[in-house]
Structure 1
Amino acid sequence: MLVRKTATRLASFAAAAGLSLALLLSASPASADAGFQRWIAGFRSTATQSGISKATFDRAFRNVRDVDAEVLEKARYQPEFTAPVWDYFDNRVHDQSVATGRAMARKWKPWLDRIEARFGVDRHILLAIWSMESNYGEILKNDQVMRNVVRSLATLAYADKRRAKFARTQLISALKILQSGDIDESHLMGSWAGAMGHTQFIPTSYQHYAVDMDGNGKRDIWNSIPDALATAANLLHKNGWQTGRTWGYEVTLPAGRKFPAGSLSLAKWQGLGLTRARSKPFPSSSDIAELKVPDGRQGPAFLVTKNFSVLKRYNNADKYALAVGLLADEIAGYGGLVRDWNRPFTKLSFEEKQELQQRLSAYGYYDGKFDGKIGQGSRAAIMAFQAKAGMEQDGHPSMEVLSVLRKR
């Protein structure tokens, strides 16, 4: 009798809100967030007005019962400090990312040939983006990172005031992706903020740029490497990528000179005393470029060109675009930096960083993965060991720390 009365009340509410009874009943009282369910019920009419069918909406939200607390935690998280510039690049441009990129270039060469011919974007740039965005797809295998995109975006739209407008827009686009049939709801997975697939596209960008490169009738950036790389290429192509041109050059600065802000021709930069690293000539002295010194004058310097700005359409950060360019150059075999980042310690190789993590774990300081990436957990472990060993507690993944660990 109580169940029947409850069902009757739910049916009345569903009729008023336009929400299917099946959706409401799927959320048990023990697990459902009542406020969140009311928000979903209200959002259904918004989705319908945007062209989403009732069947698509109900299918998408069938198993969305409560907010994703981890999404809100990640949305609120603020780094305790701004990482130094070398830390950003060391975790992204290293011997393993280069070696894997070269292996992927060989493995996917036939498709890269076609993508490069169709969109005019250098294959090494696409491989570098793939590495930066998902570690060549490895992140997609991590269930702790990948989340239900509909639930993530609904969580942000409902509970995060700063991101609510963005999340609502992305959620409508995600529902349109489901409705198109490119992917089903069980495989519509992404980051906590809704970035999806091998090349991490948010739903609106997916709608603008997604490509069915392999010709199977679906634009599948989750499972099709050709589709994912072609989608990245299409974004760069449509935003003005200049075929056959580089993103920029490492340069040497003359001592004691000041330089103007803004862009000049390479010829004018040469006239101010800048020279290309390794004493190479510039292919075209008429190209326009801007000077970037992300680590100050004591670190490497770069003249960046139009394609650097196009890379920032993927991620609007100088460090991101520079990391893509540097990694692409190394994958292509052009060599690394002539002038390295200004580190206050002796750098470790990728394998040595893994060894550092393993040794820290063996002594009980570290409980994360041995992935060679130095994040908050690794730095905290290093500092704890340094304190015990009587060393300066800087948290740097240095040869100095590894050498002490090896002696123990």
Structure 2
Amino acid sequence: MTLYDDTLTLLKELIRNACVNDLTPDSGQEIRNATSLERFFEGTPNVEITTLEPRPGRTSIVATVPGTDADAEPLTLLGHTDVVPIDEPKWTKDPFGAEISDGQIWGRGAFDMLFITATQAAVTRAVAREGGLRGTLTFVGVADEEARGGLGAKWLSEEHTDLFSWKNCLSETGGSHLPVTDGSDAVVVNVGEKGAAQRRIHVHGDAGHGSLPFGRESSIAKIGEVARRIAVADLAVAKDDIWQGFVQAYRFDAATEQALLEGTDPAAYEKFEGLAQFAHAVSHLTIAQTVVRAGQAINVLPSHAYLELDIRTLPGQTNDYVDDVLRTALGDLASEVEIEHLISEEATVSPTSSPLYAAIEKVYGDFFPDTPVVPIISSGGSDLRFARRLGGVGYGFAVHAKERTLGETLAQLHSHDEALYLEDLELTVAGYEAVVREFLG
């Protein structure tokens, strides 16, 4: 069998194991995929296998192929093995059937990110069978990524920091293309991701009987005004090189480019068409109002209400910065609210000057000659942030056919009828084999 055949066979098995993470501690049960991966490596020489679980069934697997030169740079491939839940009535395919039709493989996790995980494992096994390369290669099948890594990469980075190297890491996703206005091509590589600064805004009012509202301060009316003011907050556009490079890669007319880089015309984002929401997200602090709570009984005036905000920060935007933005938006209401911090994680970005990034650029250049490589940040999160926090670099890497735009690949994430083109699986297998040999060999 070819390396691609091995990868496809493993991918089918990983999808069918249905390791669904619904964010509860005992969901996921990634032990099924860890067992499949352990069996996949069984009998392979030159590979050291370790399995770990912080909670029964929440298993991560580490496969290490020692290098022949202790001083050579190491490389770690981080592939998560859990998937998000499904709404089965809205699928037209069996979500865990790994069906192949119309040139695609269908199923939850086919795109996010089991195709990369299977590729990483297959390439690691192939390198082990050859006896290894100069640098040490490690594959990690990680649990719990979809719940922000508390039982996976976060736990590994805190409790087993030295089990494998975090210095140079590859994970999801990268390798899709930008629909450049003049018809030319550009391929993207994920170099970072936004941070999280979740907030809960509390307000208080007067309690009382629902039949006697006159003269009482309504906590519901107050939280509504809080929500309105936050919704119209003036949020500054990014001024970093990544946003500038992303805009310039599109080759817009001068007026559009200026409006986007200076943040003078929100309507200019429509020029990105299907990527308008993504472009806005990676160029701004975003504040999504997602949960509001007040009251218990219909005949009781609630004295307390709260609003939850899913806030995503750009690199350099601290907790203090976020709180200042909120207080400025609230104006004279700021003194009447309590701002509670929930999950807070700073944005992380890796440089484009590292040897690993240079290897990625070379491989993309081999696949797509004379095509610019454009660094981008993700509006969501990945396990790569834990590598960056430990001083390493981390990049999202895959290879997609030129027809697969960034907008199309983003649309696959957590979608109904999730699918991956087999052509992209074949390209990604070749891409990982190339980048591993380029960097470690």
Normalised by the shorter chain, which TM-score bucket?
A: under 0.3
TM-score by length of 1: 0.26
Determine which structure has more spread, i.e. the larger CA radius of gyration: 1
TM-score by length of 2: 0.25
Higher strand content, 1 or 2: 2
Higher helix content, 1 or 2: 1
